[in-house]
Amino acid sequence: MTRSINDKFDKIYNSKKINEYCATNAGVLPKDWQSKKISEIADQLIETAGESVYETVSISAGIGFVNQAKKFGKELSGKQYQKYIVLHKGDFSYNKGNSNLYPQGCIYRLNDRETAAVPNVFESFRIKDGNTDYYEQLFASGFLNRQLYSRINRGVRDDGLLNLKGSDFYSCEVPVPSILEQQKIAQIFLRCDKMIKLKEELIEEENKLKKWLMDQLLVPNGCIQLVQYNESWEKKKISEIAKVFSGGTPKSSEKQYYSDKEIPFIRSGEIGQEFTELFISKLGLSESSAKMVEVGDLLYALYGANSGECAISKINGAINQAILCIRSDQINIKFLFYILSWQKKMTLYLNIYKAVRVIFLLKLSKKVEVQFPPEELQMKIVDILSTEDRKISLLMQEVENWKQKKKALMQMLLTGIVRVNV
């Protein structure tokens, strides 16, 4: 997709079409477009809540407007409420709080509420001339990031907000095609959004179906009876059917323990990945408690952000102390993966013992019991659940493809590299 964009640029700059474009403060744009300051296309909102009652909302990066009390667990407006700015459906607010997702802050349009009140530290405005769908997509694309970056004074204020004056925000310039072209551009992006939403809804439904299947298949005498298999299920502790071990971390102060590409070093957030950020040397492995795992081993995150998650290892590598490796030739390892993904006992134990050392966590394998059927039935159940996983994976890939397609279209349509027919 990136290559096609570059090809478009090359065709423009290596042809007579270059004469149809000109440099502006908003970038190189078609000559029949305008570059306008936000202050020219929008009115700053100054109406305050006063004594009127409005729902107080904040902006959550990546989500949009959220109820303030729900986001923070309590109402934060307090005495400041009267100074909150009133928004009506279709109005915009810029939250100049930085985040990993939006280092220059984020802009959202109020879509799901008729009215709301937002903190007066936000820059809130109403488009006075133009298609609001077009501007919503423009702001969401990160078009203003470069301009905002150049206007932000370095550092973050005590309240977590970026050092940016309101006047500097409103001086940022945006591309302004004709109203009709704005509408056409917005329609293309909205169709992309519709497809993304549809695929995400299908993922949600498939996940519900998978959960239901797990509830029925991973217990004896579930609603789904595979009648050809009538042998009883066994109940055993994990330690009785598998070899269980954890790893360790070579001393970071010893540079010779680490290598550029020798042994992949798997950390808890990487248990299901095909790559790792760190690599250790053979010396680092031998001089530490790090342990090797193999493709097909079951890896369980003992603690960290993904505590309780498990995955089948896709690589040969070394694990640290935050990972439990479960290796077995007595049970279908993928069946055990589904059991532990579905069963919450392990996670409960981890929550109870999250402050203790790995040696105690390893003892969990002697406490946690699993029920499992004959091998043939294990394989049948794995096949059914794996089919669902493949469906979900394909849908997730389709979502990502549509997001990448939209991103590429944004780069082309919002700069006029590609024009829509009007």
Residues of the chain with CATH 3.90.220.20: 34-176, 234-372
- Residue pLDDT, tens place only, 198-229: 999 999 999 999 999 998 898 887 666 665 55
- pLDDT (0 to 100) of residue 295: 96
CATH number of 234-372: 3.90.220.20
CB 292 within 8 A of CB 243: no
CATH 1.10.287.1120 location in the chain: 1-7+179-230+373-422
Strands (DSSP E) along 252-315, which ranges?
A: 258-266, 278-280, 291-293, 298-301, 310-312
Show the tokens assigned to 288: 């530490």
What does the pLDDT look like over 154-188, one tens digit per residue?
Answer: 665 555 678 899 999 999 999 999 999 999 999 99
Residue 356: per-residue pLDDT = 47
Q: What pLDDT was estimated at residue 3? A: 56
As a whole number, mean pLDDT of residues 9-30 equals 76
Per-residue pLDDT band for 386 (boundaries 50, 70, 90) equals: very high
- pLDDT over 80 at 342, yes or no: yes
pLDDT band of residue 13 (cuts 50, 70, 90) is low
Confidence check: pLDDT of 409 > 50: yes
d(CA 178, CA 5): 23
Instruction: Assess whether pLDDT exceeds 90 at residue 20.
Output: no
Contacts of 289 (CB under 8 A, 6+ apart): 247, 248, 249, 321
Number of H helices, E strands in the chain: 13, 24
- Token duo for residue 162: 């970026």
Partners of 148 in the β-ladder: none
**Class (C level, CATH) for 34-176:** alpha beta
Q: Which residue has the higher pLDDT, 347 or 422?
A: 422
Which of 6-15, 62-71, 128-137 is predicted with the least confidence, judged by mean pLDDT?
Answer: 6-15
* Lowest-pLDDT range of 72-86, 87-101, 371-385, 402-416: 72-86
Long-range residue pairs from 194-198, CB within 8 A, at least 24 positions apart, any chain = 195/402, 196/399, 196/402, 196/403, 196/406
Q: Which run of H or of E encompasses 412?
A: helix 375-413
Question: Topology of 1-7+179-230+373-422 in CATH?
Answer: Helix Hairpins (1.10.287)
- The pLDDT of residue 186: 97
Question: Could you read off the pLDDT of 343-368 as tens digits, one per residue?
Answer: 765 554 555 455 444 455 566 667 77
Mean pLDDT for the chain? 87
Determine the pLDDT at residue 355. 46
pLDDT digits (tens, 9 = 90+) for 279-328: 999 999 999 999 999 999 999 888 777 777 899 999 999 999 889 899 99
Q: What's the full length of the chain, in residues?
A: 422
DSSP class of residue 208 equals: H
pLDDT by residue (tens digit) across 96-105?
988 888 999 9
- Beta strand extents in 6-127 (DSSP E only): 21-24, 27-30, 34-37, 42-44, 57-60, 64-67, 85-88, 92-95, 106-109, 115-118, 123-127
pLDDT value of position 111: 96
Q: Is 221 left (phi over 0), alpha (psi -120 to 50) or beta?
A: left
- Give the pLDDT score at 54: 93
Query: The whole model's pTM is what?
Result: 0.81
Q: What are phi and psi of 265, to 5 degrees?
A: -110, 105
